[in-house]
Structure 1
């Protein structure tokens, strides 16, 4: 649990991660990608500093489901991975 002096605008996590959550998380990660701007990396979709809220949420959901970075990349590139 976070300490009371930490502030965060992160989206809440689902109580357990379903296959539908994984689909939404993959979409968030694939759409909210970084783009280099003069003021640093920004989210291509919403122009927030990267990683934006939805990208962070998607990565957290996928990690909670037990997916590695390699498995996430495989799924994003159209490959298949066995979900637990």
Structure 2
């Protein structure tokens, strides 16, 4: 059960990173998570620590309950930051 939570958290984090990189990626989508986290750190240095954090967790589905809870909390913080970054890019008011 914990492994599935970890996988879901990492998938959500990847989606957040993909959204951040959507405006930066010139050619092809990233195929591997390691490439995604490396690209995020390079393209958006303010997210480099997050990229390192999630890169370390890729493939580590054997976390205990507390670690999985910490990951879920951290994911929430990361996605809030992603949302803030994306809202800065979006034009305000479409009148």
* Same fold by TM-score greater than 0.5: no
Higher strand share: 1
What TM-score comes out, normalization by structure 2 length? Answer: 0.28
Query: Which protein has the bigger helix share?
Result: 2
**TM-score, L = length of structure 1:** 0.30
Q: Pick 1 or 2: higher relative contact order, CA cutoff 8 A, min separation 6.
A: 2
